[in-house]
Structure 1
Amino acid sequence: MRFRHPDGTTVHLGYCSNVHQAEDLEGVIAQLAEYAEPVRDRLGVDRLGIGLWLARGVVTRLVDEPGELRRLKNELAARGLETVTLNAFPYAGFHREVVKKDVYLPDWADEARLAHTLDCARVLAELLPDDVERGSISTLPLAWRTPWPAERAETARRALDRLTAGLAGIESDTGRRIRVAFEPEPGCVVETTAQAVRELRGLDPDRLGVCLDACHLAVQFEEPGAALTRLADAGLPVVKLQASCAIEAADPADPAAHAALRRLAEPRFLHQTRTAPAAEEQVRGADDLPDALDGELPTDTGPWRVHFHAPLHADPEPPLRTTADQLSQVLTGLLGGASAACDHIEVETYTWSVLPEPPADLAGGIAAELAWARDRLTGLGLKEDHL
C-alpha cells in the first residue's frame, strides 16, 4: 500500500515475507498466490507491498538467471504486489527447527555477508516498480556481540566501505538507488540507537542508515522520541521501519504472567528478555526467555519486555500485553510532523507459527495487522494513494 504524506512524500507500507517458509524460488512464487494476494484481497486494495525475504540460494539463482528474475517481477505485478524493500538479515534456514543465534551468521566480518547484500541490492534494483527510484535492504547490526575482537570489527568496517562503493556502482548501472539499513537488536554489537551512533556515524547517509525495529527499541526500554532525536542529530537516516511489537509482563513475579511467558518460550527463535532499568542503571537482560524464566533475570525490579514479535492488532494472553503504544509513538515521531522521516514501513511478525495457538487463517491475521498500521497512518494525516 502507498500513502501520501502531507509533504508530498510517498510512504510505502507492506509486510515481510519471512513469516513464510520458502527457501527456493518456486516456494517464494507459490507464497505470493497462497498468502500475499489473499492479504491484498482482504484489505480491498489494488496494490500491496511485500518486503521479500529471499534465502541465499534464491538470491544466487536470481542473479545468475535474469529470466527467473523477470519471472518473479512479473508474478508480483500479476498479483497486484510490489516490492520496494528486502529483508536480508536472515541468510538461510530461517524456519529450521532451531534457529536461535545462527540468524546472525554470516556476520559483517565475513565476506559472504557483503556478497549476499550486494546481490540482494542487484535483485531489488530490478524488482522495483518502474515509478520508484530507490529501494531499501535491512541487515543485521554487524554481529552478535561475542566474540567480536578488534580485528573483526575492523574487517567489518572495511566491508561497509566496500558496500558503499558497491551500491554506488549498482546505482550507476541501473539508475536505481538502493540503501542498506542496519537493524539494532538486543544482544548484538549494535543493540541500541546510542550504539548505532557510535558504530555507524560517519557512513554515507545517502546509501547506509538504520532499520528501526520498534519491537527491539521497546525491548531495550528506549524512549521513542529520544531515540529518533539521537539518530537525527547524528545524521543517521531511518531508512526503514519494521512495525513490530514486543511482549511485556508488567509484573513478571505474577504466577499468571510467568505461566503465560513460559508458553512463549519456544525452541526456534531467540527471545531476548530485558527488565526495566532503575535510575542511572543499564538495562539488564537475558539472552533468551527460558534463561530469564529460570532465574537469570530478577522479577522484582520492574516490567519485563521480550523479543517476541507479537501481532500488532491483537492482545496476547492476559496478563501479558504488547508494546503497541510504543510503536504508535514511533510512527508519530517519524510521520506525524511536517516532513516524513521514513518512507518504507514493513510489518514484520515472523512468529505466527510459534504462537501457543497458531492461527488457522494466516492471511487474515496479516491483513488485520496491515489494517491496524493503515489506520495509524491515516490518523497521522497520510492519505492512501490508490492506483
Structure 2
Amino acid sequence: MRFGSGHLAYCTNIHPAESWADTFSAISSHAMAVRDSVGGKGEPYAIGLRLSARASLELLEGSGLADFKRWLDEENAYVFTINGFPYGDFHGTRVKEKVFQPDWTTRERLDYTKRLFTILAEILPQGVDGSVSTLPGSHKTFHAEEAPIFAHLEELAVFLDDLAAKTGRDFHLGLEPEPLGHFENTAETLAFFERMKAVSPEPARLLRRLGINYDACHFALQYEEARTSLDALVAAGLRISKIHLSSALALDPRDREAVAALAAFDEPVYFHQVLARHADGGIQRFVDLPDALAARKSGGTEAEEWRVHFHIPLDAEPAPPLRSTRQQVRDVLAWRRDHPDACTHYEIETYTWGVLPRNLHRPVVEQIAAEYRWVMEEC
C-alpha cells in the first residue's frame, strides 16, 4: 500500500515456500487475506516478495511471469521490492549460517540477484522504483576475501544501470548489515563502502545502484540510535534502499527469570545472535543463543543487557521480564517523518512466525494484519 510518498508491504518470507507454485499459493491466499483484513482492497496493494533461487528460475519458465503480472493487475496489487537475502530453504530446516550461502564471493549469488531484478523489471508499475535486499557481502566466520565481493557488486551495478536505461525505471540493491555479517554496524558499513568505492572505476554508479537495507532489529542489536545511524549513512552519501520494520528480543541477563524465559526462544532453525552490552559500553558478540547461554552458565560473561536476534511481532511484547526493541522502530518512523523522501521502501519483516513461543503465536494473517495496524497507528 502507499505509505506517504513511498510504499509499505510485509515480506512474504514469513510463508514457507521454496517453489514458485508454493510461493504463489501463499501470496494468493495469505497476502490477499491480509489486504482484506487491513482494508486495502480499494487501493493498489503492495507485496514484498521473497523468491528463492529455485522459485526465481521457475517463475521465468514459460508463461509464468506473464501470468503473474496478469494476476497482479487483476488483483490491483503490485510488487516493488524482493527479499533476495535467503537463497534456499528458509523454513522447517536448519537455516542458521546457510542463509549467508552462497555469499557475494560467488557467481551463484550474483546470477540469482540479476534474475530477481530481471523479474522485477517485468512486473514493476510505471513510476515506481524497484529494490532487492541482500546479505552484507558474507559472514565474518567465512573469512571472505573482499576482491570478488567488490567485483560482483560492481558487475551488478553495471547491470542495473543498463536495466534502468532500457526500462526507464530506477533499480537499487540494499545490502543488509546483520550481526556477525561481513559488515554489521554503521561504522563497518561506512568503511566497507569506502573500500569498495576506492577500487571502483565509477564510484558514482555504485552509490546510485547500491545502498543499505536498514533493518531496525539489526541496528537495535548493535545498541545504535536509529536517528544517529541513519543520519550518518545519509551524510556519507549512501542510499537507504529499503527499511525493514522489525524488532528484537531484549533482557537483563542478571535476572535469572529472564534467562529462564529465553528457553522458549532457543530453537534450531535460525541464527539468534546475541549482543551483550557491559557497564563500560563494551559489546560482546555470540554467534548464537546457545553460545551466550553456555557462557553465562560457566560465568564467562557479565553484562547489563542482552539483545537477541529473534524477530518479535511489532504489535506484541514478550511477557516480562523479557522485552523487545520496539522503540527502535518508533524511532525509525519518527526519522521518516523528518525525512519523508530519504527512503520510499518499507517492509514489515517478522519472519519468525513459525518458531514463535506459544504465548506469542497467532494465525499468520491475524499477526501480519495487526503489525500493519500498529505501524499505521505509530505514523
Q: Structure 2 length normalisation: TM-score?
A: 0.92
Equivalent in the alignment of 1:144: 139
Which of 16, 21, 25 is equivalent to 1:21? Answer: 16
Pick from 149, 170, 192 the counterpart of residue 199 of structure 1.
192
Identify which of 9, 23, 30 aligns with 2:25.
30
Calculate the aligned-residue CA RMSD, in Å: 1.7
Q: Give me the whole-angstrom Cα distance separating, in 1, the residues matched to 2:236 and 2:122.
A: 32
**Residue in structure 2 matched with residue 167 of structure 1 by the alignment:** 160
Question: Which residue matches 1:53?
Answer: 50
**Aligned pairs for 1:1-387 within 5 A:** 1-4=1-4, 10-46=5-41, 47-65=44-62, 67-132=63-128, 134-149=129-144, 152-201=145-194, 202=197, 203=203, 204-249=206-251, 251-279=252-280, 281=282, 283-295=283-295, 300-333=302-335, 335-337=336-338, 339-357=340-358, 359-377=361-379
Partner SS, residue 173 of structure 2: strand
Matched with 1:382 is none
- Are the counterparts in 2 of residues 274 and 305 from structure 1 also a CA contact under 8 Å? yes
- Cα deviation per residue 1:248-278 (whole Å; 9 max; x = unaligned)? 10x2121221121111010000000011244
Q: Secondary structure at the match of 2:142?
A: coil
- The CA deviation at 1:131 is 3.8
Q: Deviations along 1:227-268, whole A, 9 cap, x unmatched?
A: 11221121111110000000010x212122112111101000
One-letter amino acid matched to 1:92 = G
Q: Which amino acid aligns with 1:323?
A: T
1:3, distance to aligned residue in structure 2 (A): 2.6
Question: Once the 2 structures are TM-superposed, how far is the Cα of residue 280 of structure 1 from its aligned partner?
Answer: 5.8
The amino acid of 1:309's aligned partner reads: H
Q: Which is further off, 116-125 or 28-37?
A: 28-37
Cα offsets for 1:150-178 (capped at 9, x unmatched): xx211111111101111112112222221
Query: Aligned in 2, Cα 1:225/1:310: closer, same or farther, shift over 3 Å?
Result: same
3-state DSSP of counterpart to 1:146: helix
Structure 2: 5+ residue runs without aligned partners? 198-202
Task: Provide the residue aligned with 2:200 in structure 1.
Answer: none
* Alignment coverage as a number of residue pairs: 365
Distance 1:54 1:89 in 2: 9
Alpha-carbon deviations, 1:87-133, whole Å to 9, x = none? Answer: 0000011114211100000000001111111110110111212342x
Residues 13, 351 of structure 2: 8 Å contact kept: yes
In 1: Cα distance, 2:75 partner to 2:323 partner: 35
2:253–2:303 CA contact under 8 A, matched in 1? no
Distance 1:278 1:253 in 2: 12
Is residue 63–residue 122 contact of structure 1 (8 Å, CA) maintained in 2?
no
Question: Alignment partner of 2:130: what SS?
Answer: strand
2:315 counterpart SS class = coil
CA contact (8 A) 1:252 1:299 kept: no
Contact 1:86 1:137 in 2 (8 A): yes
Unaligned runs of 5+ in 1: 5-9, 378-387
Instruction: Sort the Cα spacing of 1:360 and 1:373 in 2 relative to 1 into closer, same or farther, 3 A.
Output: closer
Deviation at 1:64, TM superposition (A): 4.1
What amino acid is the match of 2:271? L
CA contact (8 A) 1:211 1:240 kept: yes
Whether the 8 Å contact between 1:29 and 1:75 is mirrored in structure 2 is: no
CA contact under 8 A between 1:37 and 1:81: conserved in structure 2?
no
Structure 2 CA distance, aligned partners of 1:352 and 1:299?
Answer: 30
Give the drift of 1:25.
1.5
Deviation at 1:226, TM superposition (A): 1.6
Instruction: Report deviation, 1:305.
Output: 0.4
Displacement of 1:45: 1.3
Equivalent AA in structure 2 for residue 58 of structure 1: A
What is the one-letter code of the residue matched to 1:162? E
Tell me the distance in 2 between the aligned counterparts of 1:58 and 1:310: 27
| Counterpart contact for 1:32–1:76, Cα < 8 Å | no
| Cα contact 1:262–1:290 (8 A) shared by 2 | no
d(CA) in 2 for partners of 1:364 and 1:298?
41
Separation (CA, whole Å) in 2 of partners of 1:147 and 1:320: 32
- Structure showing the higher helix proportion among its residues: 2
Aligned AA (1:97): T
Paired letter, 2:78: E
Mapped to 1, the partners of 2:22 and 2:75 lie a distance apart of 16
